[in-house]
Structure 1
Amino acid sequence: MAKKNSTETPTLPARGSLPELKLGKKAPKNVDVLVIGLFSGEDSAELPVTPLLAEDALRSVYDSLTAVGAKGALGELTRVPAPTDSGASSVLAVGLGDPEELDDELLRRAAGSAARALRPGTSAAVSLSALGLAPVVEGLILGGYSYRGLRSEESGSKPVKITVLGDTKKDKTEFVAAQVTAESVAFARDLVNTPSSHLYPESYAAVLAAEAEVAGLEVEILDDKQLTKQGYGGILAVGNGSARGPRLVRLTWSPKKPVTSVALVGKGITFDTGGISIKPAARMENMISDMGGSAAMVAAVIAAARLNLPVSVTATLPLAENMPSGTATRPGDVITHYGGITSEVLNTDAEGRLVLADAIARASEDKPDYLIETATLTGAQMVALGTRTAGVMGSDDFRDRVAETGRLVGENAWAMPLLEEQEDELKSPVADIRNVHNSRNGGMLFAGLYLSRFVGEGIEWAHIDVAGPSFNDGGPFGYTPKRATGVPVRTVIQLLRDLSEAS
């Protein structure tokens, strides 16, 4: 990973490493590892035919696998020596479970597990792609992602090189689209994994501007003075407690003949102490991930440009650092959001909705057909749905479509209601609304209801709360690493692709 001497340069101080993939009709000569699939049968494992091995070699590998107890169970990894005439050193068999139950997500996870098992500098050929090219490509890249951060010693490791078997002409478009999607997720992971000492509103905005320029996007950045002049009271209320002032970044992809328009909004709190309503110290270091929503939307709009989608896309990204100080917003203060709605701030740790409200109001001025917003917004999301399932609120039909798309691409999501009975809980005696209610119940839904007040009339809207799914506190699994996951990048990219085809 490249490292920079200055935190002021518009590049990340470290990037995650990815395997190098290419599409090929056959395995290269002298490849290190042959990666094949192994199903679980009724009585014993089943080894499907693969172009990587001749019939006799396949039989020999099967005997070796069963001799060491391989069953083909989902997620099982078994390595055996390769036949002498195969040109490889070893065969890695990936358990695929019951062939009747295999779907794209299970295949993606299997490919991710295989990628994590490949040592740096290894060359491999993969035949799993015969079962589904795109999920295998995504799984290999996402599972092979490795982030070393700012460690002083050089890794000295070479990337894993993987040949994915497929038709180099027929499968090229699908292969490239899957690569773009997975690389976009990796970029979002890099942003989230970067320490707040190196990624704060000003430096973050500079990185985004540099990346957007490469992708051919239009860039607009408002600093704290411009935010004050234009009335972005929510962003300022959160960001004014820090010595590192807030920013609003807008990135726009403008194709020649757009078939529809989509606004993307993502929460960009580069570090969240809770402000005056300060958080407990335990695990506060994970609050570097509180800008995961903005990272996902940056990745998605750049992907739209790389895929040349015929959809106008503008990402509006409020960036701030939530710190306690003499200039920080106090509980009980009243702020004026962009557009004029006033809000009583009862808890400064419910800051995400404050910056998002301004951004949603600004994005709505463009009158998009759709508005998709995502944030690591509430701990209540994890209470309700756990750490791997996002909560989706918004316009009923579009909300359901977003949740279904998430499940389809392997980023589990569940549609949640906006409750009419919570409307009274929004009321404040001193402002139009207040930022928290007096109950522990329905906190995720209340936050969604707050944001709904800022969505323009006639806009199909969805809010994706990824407080749990965006950051993995546990060990790696499937294609998901420890720390930043990149959720919900793939959901948003798939939505943009679907909207470009359906309109």
Structure 2
Amino acid sequence: MSIEWDLVRRLPATAAAAVVPVFAGEGAEQVSAEFLGAVGFGGGVGQVLVVPGLGRAEVLVGLGPRERVDGGVVRAAVAEAVRAVRVGSLAVVVPEGVAGPVGVRAVVEGVLLGGYRFGGYRGDSGDVGVQRVDIVVEESAEARAALAVGQVLGSGVLLARDLVNGFGGLTGPEGFVERAWAISGETGVGCEVWDAHRIVDEGLGGLGGVGFGGGARGPRLVRLTHAPEGALGSVALVGNGVVSGAGRRGDMAGAAVVLAAVSALAVLDCPLRVEAWLPVASSVGEGASGGRVGEVVRLRGGTGVEVLSGGVEGQLVMADVLALAAEGAPGAVVDVAALSPAVGAALGEGVAAVQGTSAGLVESVRWAGGRAGETVWPLPVPSRGGARRVGADVVAGERRGSAVEGGGFLSGFVPAGVPWAHVDIHGVAVAGGDRGGWVRGATGFGVRTLVELLMAPLAV
């Protein structure tokens, strides 16, 4: 999505449509109160009214009560407005009461997220056609900086969406690897890729058992490294990229989110050393295993895992790679994965879960999600069950159907003393329809949370 952006002091005459914010119950200068009442527009959150005009269309967007409006409300409202009109040039007014930089970033993200359409299968551009956006706001250096940050973060979310939406049909592990190499070339992030044989040689029995023998579509492990000079600390990120069922592209959203976040962090000059480990594979088709029920799978470090039920491929792979990532003694480890289907039912629509061994890190993730407009809620970490078979140390699949099963299993694979947080995005990785900044398909949830987390002083 290529868009020309600018900050302006007043609505330009050249804009084909103008997005005008309206607070609940306060009306709008552009149309009469009688007309708004007749069409039932009261300025409520999510309301959009397109008023055609001779010069340009006026797109009124409801923000709700003035005292409750923040950047997240503005982002969602602008996203709804972008979907309501298909024009080449758009002007968006930052509402009163919202700080200029906050409003500018929210507008940029709203345009990008709301205007996204995946065009991979149709061969089109994948967006709704906006080519120029003028943001009406008091110009300042801070507002200009917010404009740049909004573009980086919005583009990162779209990258994650493309990776998930295209996985399986257009790409597989090989396509993901190609994208990782391309991002490495664009951003200077270091990139290393392990093939299936290297994975097995390194003792990654969980990842090695998923799709081994599948040739180009066999398992891969992508390692990305952002290493700024004089780094202020280090963090390891792990993102699950294993698809464990036909049509379940959302399973690999964790890897897509982490890849996109690292790309954005590099562009924004994150002061931390960030090492990302991204296992990518499909356990669907010939050669796939992923841990059959009753098997004992040997993971990195020699831990034997007895598989009690199906559908635990993601847990086995993430445990493998978490153990590997922790060997580098990072200051903290954060993983993102769509592991536990019950998370969505337990927490409600639009909420991800976070579990961890460090209360400070868990709270930092929750705070970062709130700042990014992505709600993340803490859940407890249960104890792991003991193995029943000779040669096994722990079991996987003991709590199938539980919202805390993923984090409970993974908790034992990060050494004591290394702060760790697990973000489960199962209920938010894919949207069934358009709402606010989400469009049908992959959401890219987690990209902005990770960037907010690592661009701020990290509390563990």
Q: What TM-score, normalized by structure 1, do the two folds share? A: 0.83
Q: What displacement does 1:418 show? A: 0.9
Gaps of 5+ in 1: 1-16, 48-57, 274-283
Are 1:128 and 2:94 an aligned pair? yes
The 5-angstrom pairing of residues 354-393 of structure 1 reads 354-393=316-355
The verdict on how the C-alpha distance between 1:154 and 1:459 changes in structure 2, with shifts beyond 3 A counting, is closer
In structure 2, give the amino acid aligned to 1:263.
A
The verdict on how the C-alpha distance between 1:33 and 1:66 changes in structure 2, with shifts beyond 3 A counting, is farther
Q: What TM-score, normalized by structure 2, do the two folds share? A: 0.91
Corresponding residue SS for 2:68: coil
The 5-angstrom pairing of residues 311-326 of structure 1 reads 311-323=272-284, 325=286
Q: What displacement does 1:365 show? A: 1.2
Alignment equivalent of 1:498, drawn from 448, 456, 460: 456
Alignment equivalent of 1:144, drawn from 97, 115, 138: 115
**Worse-matched range after superposition: 201-210 or 91-100:** 201-210
Are 1:107 and 2:59 an aligned pair? no
Q: Distance in 2 between matches of 1:64 and 1:195?
A: 47
**Residues 121-175 of structure 1: CA distance to partner in whole angstroms, max 9, x if unpaired?**
4311111265222222211211111112312678897434211123164411111
Q: Distance in 1 between matches of 2:303 and 2:442?
A: 34
Are 1:309 and 2:267 an aligned pair? no
Q: Distance in 2 between matches of 1:210 and 1:34?
A: 37
Matched with 1:11 is none
Q: Distance in 2 between matches of 1:326 and 1:342?
A: 22
Q: What displacement does 1:23 show? A: 2.8
The verdict on how the C-alpha distance between 1:426 and 1:463 changes in structure 2, with shifts beyond 3 A counting, is farther
Matched with 1:428 is 388
Corresponding residue SS for 1:427: coil
Q: What displacement does 1:306 show? A: 0.5
Q: What displacement does 1:354 show? A: 0.9
Matched with 1:214 is 186
In structure 2, give the amino acid aligned to 1:24.
V
Corresponding residue SS for 1:314: strand
Matched with 1:231 is 203
Alignment equivalent of 2:150, drawn from 174, 178, 182: 178
Checking the alignment, whether the CA contact within 8 Å between 1:110 and 1:478 is kept in structure 2 is yes
Matched with 1:278 is none
Q: What displacement does 1:426 show? A: 4.1
Alignment equivalent of 2:364, drawn from 394, 397, 401: 401
In structure 2, give the amino acid aligned to 1:264.
L
Q: Distance in 2 between matches of 1:18 and 1:295?
A: 21
Alignment equivalent of 2:411, drawn from 452, 458, 467: 452
Matched with 1:279 is none
Q: What displacement does 1:319 show? A: 1.0
Q: Distance in 1 between matches of 2:249 and 2:373?
A: 24
**Residues 221-265 of structure 1: CA distance to partner in whole angstroms, max 9, x if unpaired?**
110111121111110122327452111100011111211211110
Are 1:414 and 2:377 an aligned pair? yes
The 5-angstrom pairing of residues 11-22 of structure 1 reads 17=1, 20-22=4-6
Checking the alignment, whether the CA contact within 8 Å between 2:212 and 2:287 is kept in structure 1 is no
**Residues 387-427 of structure 1: CA distance to partner in whole angstroms, max 9, x if unpaired?**
421111002221132123223322112100012xx43x243
Moved over 6 A (4+): 153-157
What is the aligned residue count? 450
Q: Distance in 2 between matches of 1:154 and 1:140?
A: 15
**Residues 318-342 of structure 1: CA distance to partner in whole angstroms, max 9, x if unpaired?**
1111125466343222121112211
Matched with 1:161 is 132
Gaps of 5+ in 2: none
Corresponding residue SS for 1:377: coil
Checking the alignment, whether the CA contact within 8 Å between 2:371 and 2:452 is kept in structure 1 is no
Are 1:472 and 2:453 an aligned pair? no
Q: What displacement does 1:460 show? A: 1.4
**Residues 243-299 of structure 1: CA distance to partner in whole angstroms, max 9, x if unpaired?**
521111000111112112111100001x322xxxxxxxxxx42x1221100000001
Matched with 1:51 is none
Q: Distance in 2 between matches of 1:326 and 1:489?
A: 32
Matched with 2:309 is 347
In structure 2, give the amino acid aligned to 1:164.
I
Matched with 2:56 is 89
Q: Distance in 2 between matches of 1:450 and 1:304?
A: 29
Checking the alignment, whether the CA contact within 8 Å between 1:18 and 1:144 is kept in structure 2 is no
The 5-angstrom pairing of residues 261-276 of structure 1 reads 261-269=234-242, 271-273=243-245
Checking the alignment, whether the CA contact within 8 Å between 1:262 and 1:371 is kept in structure 2 is yes
Q: Distance in 1 between matches of 2:31 and 2:366?
A: 45
The verdict on how the C-alpha distance between 1:155 and 1:298 changes in structure 2, with shifts beyond 3 A counting, is closer
Identity in percent? 34
C-alpha root-mean-square deviation of aligned residues, in Å?
Answer: 2.4
**Worse-matched range after superposition: 448-457 or 17-26:** 17-26
Checking the alignment, whether the CA contact within 8 Å between 2:8 and 2:134 is kept in structure 1 is yes
